[in-house]
Amino acid sequence: MHYSAGNYEAFARPRKPDGVEDKTAWFVGAGLASLSGAAFLIRDAQMSGDKITIFEELDLPGGALDGIKEPKKGFVIRGGREMETHFECLWDLFRSIPSIEQDDASVLDEYFWLNNDDPNFSLRRVTMEQGVDAGTDFKFKLTDKAQKDIVRIFLATREEMENKRIEDVVSEEFLNSNFWLYWRTMFAFENWHSALEFKLYLHRFIHHIKGLPDLSTLKFTKYNQYESLVLPLYKWLLDHGVTFRFSTTVTDVDFTIDSTRKQATKIHYTTKGEEGSVDLGENDLVFMTIGSLTENSDEGDHQTPAKLDRGPAPAWDLWRRIAAKDPAFGHPDVFAGDIDKTKWESCTVTTLDKRIPEYIHKICERDPFSGKVVTGGIVTARDSSWLMSWTVNRQPHFKQQPSDQIVVWVYALFSDTPGDYVKKSISECTGEEITREWLYHMGVPTNQIDELAATAAKAVPCMMPYVTAFFMPRQHGDRPSVVPEGAVNFAFIGQFSESQSRDCIFTTEYSVRTPMEAVYTLLDIERGVPEVYGSTYDVRELLNATSRLRDGEEVKLPGPHLLREKLYGKFQENEVGKLISEYKLIEKP
């Protein structure tokens, strides 16, 4: 397996690998990683779909890419996915998956047209004092010291950031900046999360610094990710004969391991309480999704709080059993060993009439019933004790959503802090109480809040114990390589496997990249995996990011006016100087 950039290999069709007719494939989990891996086997390895089986604990595919209507509770989305132009592997996949919305179009075509016609950006990213614009002016407000924090982390080696928390490597001035407010609420970083992951994110998304304040570099699907991404891919796999075994929990995988070779030999599983197994030979390929950010999620309802489930967690317990068999298989408790550091709660609020949408309209300055971009991403209530954020995507967010309803996603980064209106932590709140707190920070008059929360909305809270597990401080080796050294017939895929690329986790891209690397490695596919977009090496992106981090403030050249003019003139005599001028980094005398 190798990486490639440009059109040469991107448009090439690989030839059929030798011996693929004799192979079968088994996937653990039916999240995006497994669905993508099965698609790459069919499209690029030219494996027959009827040779592929996917085991899934739940009774539907999609994993964390969810979106469903519960008959009694209402619409539920545990989280949303922010996507961008340079998710190279994701778009490489979905260019091949037919849309189920439009004839003669791929999912990528549909997505491209949608975001071209209705580009995303926010008109109000931050509020305070009950729905008032926080006056950030879309600026970062980074002091010189805070700017140096970012530069130092950017230039540090990965090893220097291992096992460190963000709060260990930045100043209070950085933590109090608008930059950190935008960043932490958009990506769900806590102060105690991994400095290494923060560094990787800086490199991966340096080209998004300019759009971080107004979210203008983000793109979204038409509906929730289950209907827009999972269903077309699931249908395509079914059409190609892939077998799905739902309500089936993989409990263990056996291996034979020696100093040079590792082979998976048996899969153990239970289906509705009955045990079963699959014997594996060299031609049986196993792709294991390890860990899970949505494992043990619990939903409440409008009158019932969600519960924090600290009990057995099948996806994590499977990885623990596997990891005990070889040091190369990672260390799951680095990520899943402290639930209080990895949990937070979200809530899906469905408005039932037009009373609450009037307040949404007031804040986002767009009609939420227009069918176009509404908030343009999350709106954060800066002075919320929960550090609450909320978003309204294009409506309807579900195909079966009534035209007079709006689906809103609310989340709190601080799970255990009492609220400002309800005086309870979000983890203690019913859906109705969370709605009250949200309405308060939206600026609804306090004498109307309780009535609107009770009669104008229906809310489903969801507590997720492991939702930011992959952000815990870590070091090399804590996540296993996608294909460990010596592995002949198995791979680890998903957010907790280690890609050899420069990519970062908590993205749909990573969920597609890791199975692509796995398939291309185990079957020696005659095509490169698309490399991560090289913005971190592009001087134009670096200069643009530098200018934006300074909020456009130019550097003044030292010395008297005539000397400054002479120095500035010298800058104009070479390409670097022209770039510095173009991005307005140095003030013209």
Residues involved in catalysis = 82, 201
What is the 3-class SS of 363-413, one letter each residue? HHCCCCCCCCCCCCCCEEECCCCCCEEEECCCCCCCCCCCCCCEEEEEEEC
Pairing of strands 24-28, 52-55: parallel
Strand order in the sheet with 132-133: 132-133, 126-128, 379-381, 388-391, 406-412, 344-351, 457-464, 298-299
Helix (H) or strand (E) holding 567: helix 561-571
Distance CA 312, CA 292 (A): 13
Per-residue CA distances from 558 to 192, 360, 570, 580 (Å)? 40, 49, 14, 16
- Using a 10 angstrom Cβ sphere, with 0-12 exposed, 13-18 middle and 19 or more buried, the burial of residue 403 is exposed
Helix then strand count (H, E) for the chain reads 22, 20
Q: Which tokens hold the place of 248? A: 């089936």
Helix (H) or strand (E) holding 166: helix 166-169
Distance CA 67, CA 59 (A): 14
- DSSP-derived letter for residue 525 is -
- DSSP-derived letter for residue 429 is -
Bridge partners (DSSP) listed for residue 245: 55
Q: Report phi then psi at 194, rounded to 5.
A: -65, 125
Pairing of strands 126-128, 379-381: parallel
Question: Tokens 């005539």 belong to which residue?
Answer: 562
Distance CA 373, CA 386 (A): 26
Bridge partners (DSSP) listed for residue 407: 350
DSSP character string of 59-127? SSSBTTS--EEETTTEEE-S----B-TT-HHHHHHHTSSBPSSSTT-BHHHHHHHHHHHS----S--EE
